[in-house]
């Protein structure tokens, strides 16, 4: 991997130009941030010879258990209403 031109999202110095004053530019940035993962989700992983990676069978069943146990693993205080979420 190599460095790419850009700004870190956690930069505390404020937005770089043109995002500092251009709300339309910020909107476009938000759309692009969502578009990247959406495009990745449409990749035909079998056509890209990725069958040997991961375990696609039962993926969602395994993930639900992970998602449900994750909040308990990182909890440091009680959050009201989390049990119904």
User: What does the pLDDT look like over 7-54, one tens digit per residue?
Assistant: 776 666 788 888 888 889 889 988 998 999 999 999 998 898 888 888
| Predicted pLDDT of residue 85 | 56
Query: How many whole angstroms separate alpha carbon 27 and alpha carbon 39?
Result: 18
Instruction: Report the alpha-carbon distance of residue 78 to residue 28 in Å, rounded.
Output: 37
pTM of the complete model beyond 0.75: no
Contact 47, 36 (CB under 8 A): no
Place of tokens 């969502």: 34
């Amino acid at each position: 991997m190599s460095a790419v031109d850009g700004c870190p999202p956690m930069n505390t110095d404020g937005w770089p130009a043109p995002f500092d004053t251009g709300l339309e530019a910020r909107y476009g940035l938000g759309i692009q941030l969502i578009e990247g993962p959406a495009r990745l989700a449409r990749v035909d992983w079998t056509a890209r010879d990725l069958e040997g990676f991961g375990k696609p069978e039962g993926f969602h069943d395994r993930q639900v258990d992970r998602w449900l146990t994750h909040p308990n693993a990182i909890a440091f205080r009680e959050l009201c209403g989390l049990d119904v979420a």
